[in-house]
Structure 1
Amino acid sequence: MLDRIKVQLQYLLPKQGLTQLAGWGASKQAGWLTRLVVKGFAKYYRVDMQEAQQPDPESYATFNDFFVRPLKEGARPIVEGERQLALPADGAISQLGPITEGKLLQAKGHDYTLEALLACNMSMVEKFRNGQFATIYLSPRDYHRVHMPCNGVLHEMLYVPGDLFSVNPLTAENVPNLFARNERVICLFDTDFGPMVQILVGATIVGSIETVWAGTITPPRQGVLQRWTYPIEGEGAVILKKGDEMGRFKLGSTVINLFTENSITFSPALQCKTPTRMGELFAEAREQ
């Protein structure tokens, strides 16, 4: 009963307004109040501050500074094999597997279409129709910078406006088409083993989604789909190496990766609810 109430409240609450308010508060330098909130959050969620470059919770001027805290050098070793892909984020596997008949599994009893996820960008949809996907959920305690699984050259980026439901496991199990209805930033990369998509999904209280090449993508939330294309070399090209940071969330959310048919094999250690640590083995690229 309590879980049902939690889900139904998400349909009723002013999620955009709450998120805007949270983003405003998280960006403010509020002195002792900021320090109190950061210390309380770190204690409540059991955040491992010893991994952070600045382990003292009182050293952060804003809650956002704390939330996107960088880690110490070497805290996340990156798998080194040429054909090994690295996990892009700390969190836990929500789902992974094949894209079957153009559909991805959201949770038991719920799937959603590739077309909806990719905002009906049909040239992109056709690349991944029979491919594979992985969804990683980042909880509030996790490190919230997102990194590259492999070397990649950015080809295209979409901002898709949408709702701001929570993306925690309870919501994923009860809200249909969750990841296709929430706002998201879709990044298409060319890699050595074919196209790859990395999607940063927004959620309630996620005050901002950023990329390293474009800065803050949202807010503002203008309700308009936006598209950017990039050259493969020269001025304006975005070329990232495996393990490089590509984006970040200011408060927790979800990362979805899409791979083309027969391009990769996921690590057998990864199953639903498996914890993930950025840099560990994600998949092996297959011979083309």
Structure 2
Amino acid sequence: MKVFDHLKTIPQYLIPQHGLSVLAGKLADKKNLRIKNWVIKTFAKHYGVDMSIAVEPDLTAYESFNDFFTRAIRPETRPICDDPDTLACPVDGAVSQFGKITNGDIIQAKGHSYTVQDLLGGDAKLAEQFEDGEFITIYLSPKDYHRYHMPIDGKLTRMIHVPGKLFSVNPLTARTVPRLFARNERVVAMFDTDFGPLAYVAVGATIVGSMEMAWSGIVTPPTIKDVSETQYAEGDVTLKRGDEVGRFRLGSTVILLLPKGSYSWDESIKNEAPTLLGQPMVKRH
């Protein structure tokens, strides 16, 4: 089985990942009514997209596929946990891995791990803040709601755009591509919170047309060659629990890092278990 899994991922090493993703993004922005409506309806039916929670349930009302893909949902369908000692889940998706950061390593899948330092763009001092901390990786499938939100009140301090590959981030690829999340292009948002520093990582993937942050708009593309960082002064960007952080224009993965502390994960948080935006995720003691 492992041999076949690896064989299935070989094409991802061969395709022009960034070129294909840019093309997909452009096509997803097209507004040709006949083609756009057909693509949206076909996609929604194939993946079983639940439009009953959408602010706009009419598939033909969206101007482009990207507008449909980043659709808003009705707030009452995703109540946000308001316990000040509990982080709320930031997205609809499925848990890939979660738990303790050990010796600076994060578990990717059975037999695979990567370092916090690599994930955060090589910044050793920044990585030190999460020694013996906690992490959670949540995968957003094509059917999911693709906006990601704050799990707690926070003040933005830094945004780091880390260049990289654009492998798929589905469970198969996570099992077979070493250091997947530390190799793919990503945006790291650092927040000061009541829990201490919070690293909020939005990971790109194959045919992700772009990643967009609420305070800056589209961050990628353009794809860059070197790590790029933006500093924010206190008060520049403050987000409340449940506020939108950003959105994926064609799905991907969110990773959260917490500093060392006494935490207990909610009983609903299990590997491969589905998650809903706003549900209790991890409690501080």
TM-score by length of 2: 0.97
Distance 1:184 1:279 in 2: 23
Residue matched to 1:32: 34
Specify the code of the residue in structure 1 equivalent to 2:95.
I
Distance 2:91 2:75 in 1: 16
Residue matched to 1:250: 249
Contact 1:107 1:172 (C-alpha < 8 Å) held by counterparts: yes
Specify the code of the residue in structure 2 equivalent to 1:247.
G
1:61-96 residue CA offsets vs partner (Å, 9 max, x unmatched): 100000000001311100121212110000000000
1:117-136 matched pairs, under 5 angstroms? 117-136=119-138
Contact 2:5 2:176 (C-alpha < 8 Å) held by counterparts: no
**1:285 positional shift:** 2.3
Specify the code of the residue in structure 1 equivalent to 2:257.
L
Distance 1:4 1:62 in 2: 35
1:179-194 matched pairs, under 5 angstroms? 179-194=181-196
1:32-64 residue CA offsets vs partner (Å, 9 max, x unmatched): 100000000000000001110110111111000
Distance 1:78 1:90 in 2: 12
User: Would you identify which runs of 4 or more consecutive aligned residues in structure 1 move more than 4 Å?
Assistant: none
Residue matched to 1:285: 284
Specify the code of the residue in structure 1 equivalent to 2:239.
L
Residue matched to 1:240: 239
Structure 1 portions without partners, runs of 5+: none
**1:4 positional shift:** 3.2
Identity %: 49
**1:267 positional shift:** 1.3
Give the 3 Å change call, closer, same or farther, for CA 84–67 of structure 1 in structure 2.
same
1:127-166 matched pairs, under 5 angstroms? 127-166=129-168
Contact 1:193 1:263 (C-alpha < 8 Å) held by counterparts: no
Give the 3 Å change call, closer, same or farther, for CA 73–271 of structure 1 in structure 2.
closer
Distance 2:195 2:112 in 1: 30
> Could you say what the CA RMSD is over the residues aligned between the two structures, in angstroms?
1.1
**1:162 positional shift:** 0.3
Residue from 15, 20, 23 that aligns with 1:21: 23
Residue from 46, 49, 64 that aligns with 2:48: 46
Question: Does 3-12 or 194-203 show the bigger shift?
Answer: 3-12
Distance 2:198 2:219 in 1: 20
Distance 1:256 1:41 in 2: 26
The size of the alignment, in residue pairs, is: 283
- 1:274 to 2:273 alignment: yes
Structure 2 portions without partners, runs of 5+: none
1:187-239 residue CA offsets vs partner (Å, 9 max, x unmatched): 11000121111100000000010110000000111222110111112xxx100
Residue matched to 1:55: 57
**1:263 positional shift:** 5.2
**1:113 positional shift:** 1.0
TM-score by length of 1: 0.96
SS in 1 for 2:75: coil
Contact 1:194 1:263 (C-alpha < 8 Å) held by counterparts: no
Question: Does 7-16 or 38-47 show the bigger shift?
Answer: 7-16
1:93-132 matched pairs, under 5 angstroms? 93-132=95-134
